[in-house]
A and B are shown apart, each in its own frame.
Chain A
Amino acid sequence: MKTAHPHLGLALKCLAGVGLSTALSCALALKVDMYAIGNWSGGNCAPGDTDTDRGAWPGMAQAWYDWMGLMGHAKTGKFVDGDMTVKRFCDPTLTGNANCKDYLYVDWPDAAIVAAHGYDAGNGWGALMRNQALGTCSTVMGGPGGNMAVGDNNLKFLHASSCLSLNDNYFGNMRAAMKRTGTAKGLHVMTGFHGVMWIGSGFNGDYAATAINGHVQSVAHAWVTNHYKSNRFACAAWDPFNWFGTCQDQCPTALTIGPTGASALNRLLNERYNNSAVFGSPSGRSYYAWMGYPGCDPVAEDAFSP
């Protein structure tokens, strides 16, 4: 039998775990989801277009997801390929469309990672879905006509494993998408990439390390230190160490919001997966705080210069 709520079965297991006192307390642990697309050609947004497929991508997101589980959190949803549509990401109030169900999906857990092809949707993050729904193949966060605004339900930490997902030119628009007008709650921390990100078997460890380090240092810091790849790409054959300036970078970025600059910075510098309750939800969005590497020079974008 299919449940109406995609997480219901897992939530019941979690409650049972609490009842038996066998699981780490679900009241203290975060609920964690992953949303990843590796195969677009089997969907209807890029039907048969095998050059869009990136089979190794879900495994990178899963490295974070699995380690969040190992760190004691509740793995509540692994969504890979299938009927991945905008309905899982769009906000019904923001769009005025009741078929948007983010409160059952990406805005249901406390922490989530999203892996999908990205693009600059007018100073906001656009992510290519696998299947079309509600007349679109994209979810858009932060740009004009954006359909995604998270944090008003549950989500606290959003990791975007996606090219051009958190460019320096998005920050102002993301500020609004991280706390929808009129809501009490908002997204605590968003992370992504300025410019192109990279896929390789050696990069799974970066996602695992983010999950581990995010319990020791701030989630923003864990992301930007573990995904930073200096001068690893596009190097000339005779310049593999960038001694002569031929190489390019992978540039991770992070963003928080707050009613004051100090509060946004404090969250950026200090909020971890395991102390988020102390910070609570951002009570305002008059300021945003960013973290990144000025001068970081990725493929397909100008150097990071917020």
Chain B
Amino acid sequence: MANPLMSISSVRALRPALLPLLAALLAASAAQAQTQDPKEALRAAIGNVLRPMLGDSSAPVVERLQQVKPDGAISRGFDLARVTTALFGRSATNVAPDCRSTSTTAREADTGLCLIDAGSRESDTGAYTALAFSKNIGIGDIQFTRRPAFAGDGSVLPAPVKMSDAEAYDQALKFMALMGVPRSEIPVLPQDARLPVRSLVAGAVDEKGSEAQRITLHKMVQLPRAFVVPGGLLKDPATGRVLSHVIAPGGATLAVNDRGVQFARIDGWSDAQMDPKADPRRAKSTTELVNEITDDLWGEGVRKVGTLSILIALRKAYPNPDDPNPPLCPVCGVLRPALQVIVSQLGAKPVATAERAFAAPGLVREYDLVAQTEAERPAR
């Protein structure tokens, strides 16, 4: 068996190597474009990425995804007393009056946030701490901000962060555990993989271009949500590497410094369960998917492909409101097998732009792998 460290290093080195591959694919698309219309070139580019992943049908992938069993739930792990003690200590806190109810006056589940804070948000220079979380915590939205007091004249700058990326990552994981996020839904990094940590930095420069100051403000940690797929999800034919997780809706961004987590935004880490009504027999063929994606991207104005990434994912969907047997938490939604298509018209490397050669934003779109019943509508 190959040394995993060597494998990872060599795969990292593949990134430059992937570019010629991508270029070749795009060149092939470009060559086809000479004989095909632009939409057919787009269709070919999508097919070139999708067919090696799925073969002729998405059914095998859907069947593997049906094996995913989300076994945790933020609603079971979130302990408000523990959280507030950890974040506010003995500080006097204000609890918004509307936190008392988890349903609206119409007796529907309240999808809003409960706010607990300490200090005055409106204070010009004073400290302030705020925690906001879904009243129905199963929806999985949590926001936390700790603002220190500061000298209004700017005479005192924040101390630069000294902690390492590994320490920041560890603090972020502990914060997620405090919030009740299931540890099993944060993928464990393989040995020697890159930590999802980057420094947030501020600097001052004078009019001659000389740097006067540079401060590392925070270590920013971004944590994806993913589930283990029993038996693995995908094997890359080129590297033999097996992808063992599927990305899921939800994610977290945390700003950490030497005093702990100062900012956190956990989005949509909901209690959603796999959609029991997703029938693998209705899995779409690869040709159907290629055509659906092509038509949709074409409708979104995609004519050129600079980067194209297609990922197998779970997407959050909402059950049919007329369903006589809805899931236990309708506002949490359900998880359906899907493709995430991430496309930009510009390539990875710097390009010269101009008024007639502007940079269009890239697009992120999702497509169900399983055909929907007539009563359902696609939710993009």
**CB within 8 A of A163: which of B202, B206, B300, B361?**
B361
Query: Shortest beta-carbon distance, B14 to chain A, in Å?
Result: 7
Which of A126, A229, A232, A306 counts the most B-chain CB atoms under 10 A from its CB? A232
Cα–Cα distance between A299 and B15 once the two chains are bound (Å): 14
The list of the 6 closest CB pairs from A to B, nearest first, reads A266-B154, A200-B364, A261-B204, A119-B353, A163-B359, A261-B212
Answer yes or no: A111 CB below 8 A from chain B CBs. no
* Cβ-based interface call for B157 (8 A): yes
Q: Tell me whether A126 and B346 are in contact (CB under 8 A).
A: no
Measured between C-beta atoms, what is the minimum distance from B194 to chain A in Å?
Answer: 6
Assess whether B196 is in contact with A246, with CB atoms less than 8 Å apart.
no
Q: Give the distance in Å from the alpha carbon of A163 to the alpha carbon of B122 in the complex.
A: 33
| CB atoms of B206 and A286 under 8 A apart | yes
Bound-state CA distance A105–B285 (Å) is 51
Contact yes or no, B346 A238, CB < 8 A:
no
**Contact residues of B between 1 and 49, Cβ < 8 Å to A:** 8, 11-12, 14-15, 18, 49
Instruction: Tell me which residues across on chain B come within 8 A of A243, comparing CB atoms.
Output: 8, 189-190, 193-194
Query: Please, which residues of chain B bring their CB within 8 A of the CB of A239?
Result: 11, 241, 243
Assess whether B222 is in contact with A230, with CB atoms less than 8 Å apart: yes
What B residues does A137 contact at CB under 8 A?
355
- Which chain A positions have C-beta within 8 A of B312? 237
Q: B154 contacts A199, CB within 8 Å?
A: no
For A212, the chain B residues whose CB sits under 8 A away are 143
Chain B residues near A175 (CB-CB < 8 A) = 207
The B-contacting residues of A in range 135-170, CB under 8 angstroms, are 137-138, 163-164
> 10 additional contacts, CB 8 Å, given A238-B242, A240-B224, A240-B226?
A120-B352, A196-B344, A229-B222, A232-B364, A244-B241, A248-B307, A267-B154, A299-B306, A302-B350, A306-B203
B196 to A242, Cβ gap below 8 A?
Answer: yes
- Produce 1/0 per residue, B184-197, CB < 8 A to A: 00010110011010
Whether a CB of chain B sits under 8 angstroms from the CB of A31 is no
- Of B122, B153, B224, B363, the contact of A199 (CB 8 Å cutoff): B363
Interfacial chain B residues near A235, Cβ < 8 Å: 309, 311, 342
Which stretch from A10-18, A52-60, A93-101, A181-189 is at the chain B interface?
A: A52-60
With A233-B344, A241-B224 in contact, do A289 and B203 touch (Cβ < 8 Å)?
yes
CB distance from A256 to the nearest CB of B (A): 9
Which B residues are in CB contact (< 8 Å) with A54? 300-301, 360-361, 363
Evaluate contact between B147 and A216: CB separation under 8 angstroms: yes
B364 to A293, Cβ gap below 8 A? no
Cβ-defined contact, B361 with A196, below 8 A: yes
Q: How far is the CB of B126 from chain A (nearest CB, A)?
A: 10
Does A172 sit at the interface, judged by CB under 8 A? Answer: yes
Question: CA of A288 to CA of B194 in the docked complex: distance in angstroms?
Answer: 32
Q: Is the CB of B206 within 8 A of A265?
A: no
List B residues 107-140 near A (Cβ within 8 Å).
Answer: 121-125, 128, 130
Chain A residue at smallest Cβ distance from B364: A200
For the complex, give the distance between the alpha carbons of A301 and B125 in Å: 37
A287 near B226: Cβ-Cβ < 8 Å? no
Whether A299 contacts B303 in the complex (CB less than 8 A), given A243-B193, A266-B153, comes out as no
CB distance from B345 to the nearest CB of A (A): 8
Contact of B206 among A241, A245, A287 (CB under 8 A): A287
Cross-chain contact A228 with B222 (CB below 8 angstroms): yes
Contact with B along A124-139 (1 / 0, CB 8 A): 0010100000000110
> With A225-B200, A225-B220, A263-B154 known to touch, is A287 a contact of B205 (CB < 8 Å)?
yes
State whether the Cβ of B163 lies closer than 8 Å to any Cβ in chain A: no
Mark A residues whose CB is within 8 Å of B. 50-55, 57, 117-121, 126, 128, 137-138, 163-164, 171-172, 175, 196-203, 205, 209, 212-213, 215-217, 221, 224-226, 228-248, 261-270, 274-275, 278, 285-296, 299-302, 306
Cross-interface CB contact of A237 among B201, B310, B355, cutoff 8 Å? B310
Which residue of chain A has the shortest Cβ distance to B220 in the bound complex? Answer: A228
Q: Can you list 24 contacts pairing A with B, beta carbon distance less than 8 Å?
A: A118-B358, A119-B353, A138-B355, A164-B353, A198-B342, A201-B380, A212-B143, A216-B130, A225-B253, A229-B222, A234-B307, A234-B309, A236-B309, A242-B194, A243-B189, A243-B190, A261-B213, A262-B155, A263-B154, A299-B346, A300-B344, A300-B348, A300-B349, A300-B350
Q: Which residues of A contact B123 (CB under 8 A)?
A: 275
CA distance A207 to B268 in the complex (A): 16
- Cβ-defined contact, A265 with B359, below 8 A: no
B199 CB within 8 Å of chain A: yes
Contacts A241-B245, A265-B154, A299-B347 known; A290 to B202 CB distance under 8 Å? yes
**Best-surrounded residue of B187, B189, B202, B363 (most CB of chain A within 10 A):** B202
The answer to the question of B302 belonging to the interface, with a C-beta cut-off of 8 Å to chain A, is yes
B64 within 8 A of A: no
Kindly identify which residue among A265, A287, A296, A300 contacts B347, using a CB–CB cutoff of 8 Å. Answer: A300
Is B78 interfacial (CB 8 A cutoff)?
no
Q: Is there an interface contact between B263 and A217, defined as CB atoms closer than 8 Å?
A: yes
Taking CB atoms and an 8 Å cut-off, the chain B residues in 276-305 that contact chain A are: 300-304
| B89 interfacial contact with A, CB 8 Å | no
| B360 with A205: CB separation less than 8 A | no
Most A-side CB within 10 Å, residue of B143, B344, B359: B359
CB neighbours of A163 from chain B (8 A)? 358-361
Query: Which residues from chain A contact B14 at a C-beta distance below 8 Å?
Result: 244, 246
Knowing A216-B147, A244-B193, A265-B213, say if A238 contacts B239 (CB, 8 Å): yes
